[in-house]
Amino acid sequence: MITPRSPIVALGVGVAAPPAVLVAIYLFFAGHNQPGGGFAAGLVLGALVALRAIAGRRAPATSTTLLWIGAGLAAGVAVLPVAFGDAVLDQRVVDVTVPLLGKVKSGTALVFDAGVAAIVVGLVMAVLDGLGISRIADPSPESETAAKVEGGS
């Protein structure tokens, strides 16, 4: 059993959150040339959301919204090339000049990866919803009797 609203956990999560987001962003953009990618970035964010849930804070969006966004981005990038007569998921690479960073090579794969990340975070949040995170901070008597999942054993 987790102690409801442990201040230590809350503080720890609060401190860890900004760097975790930075790590996620780094992993996301590094993915194309370095280890990382949308899946890893999504997992970091997902872990963060789960930790925040333990600390008693709600996620800023709902899992369903994220799942729609993710599926929309990935499927959109996948299908869009067809409109231009290319194959499904055909990749476009563009060189963009960004202030401070200079010339950056990017592509439609980045959007696809964003979709992957959104779906991973959405999945983590869906699992949290399914487990009923709202009841952690305020354990009701029922949640203790709900401990008979292990059928057959």
Provide the phi-psi class of 43: left if phi over 0, else alpha when psi is between -120 and 50, else beta.
Answer: alpha
Shortest Å distance, C-beta 99 to other proteins = 22
56 is a contact residue toward other proteins (CB under 8 A)? no
- How does DSSP assign 95-107, residue by residue? EEEETTTEEEEEE
Shortest Å distance, C-beta 21 to other proteins = 14
- What would you measure as the largest C-alpha separation in the chain, in angstroms? 61
Shortest Å distance, C-beta 118 to other proteins = 9
Kindly report the number of other CB atoms within 10 A of residue 111's CB atom. Answer: 17
**Binding-site member from 5, 25, 64, 65 for other proteins (CB under 8 A):** 64
SS3 93: strand
116 is a contact residue toward other proteins (CB under 8 A)? yes
107, 117, 125, 129: which is closest to 25 by C-alpha? 117
DSSP state letter for 2: P
83 is a contact residue toward other proteins (CB under 8 A)? no
Interface residue list for other proteins (CB under 8 A): 1-2, 27, 31-40, 43-44, 46-47, 50-51, 53-54, 63-64, 67, 70-71, 74-75, 78, 88-89, 91, 93, 105, 107, 109, 112-113, 115-116, 119-120, 122-133, 136, 139, 142-143, 146-147, 149-153
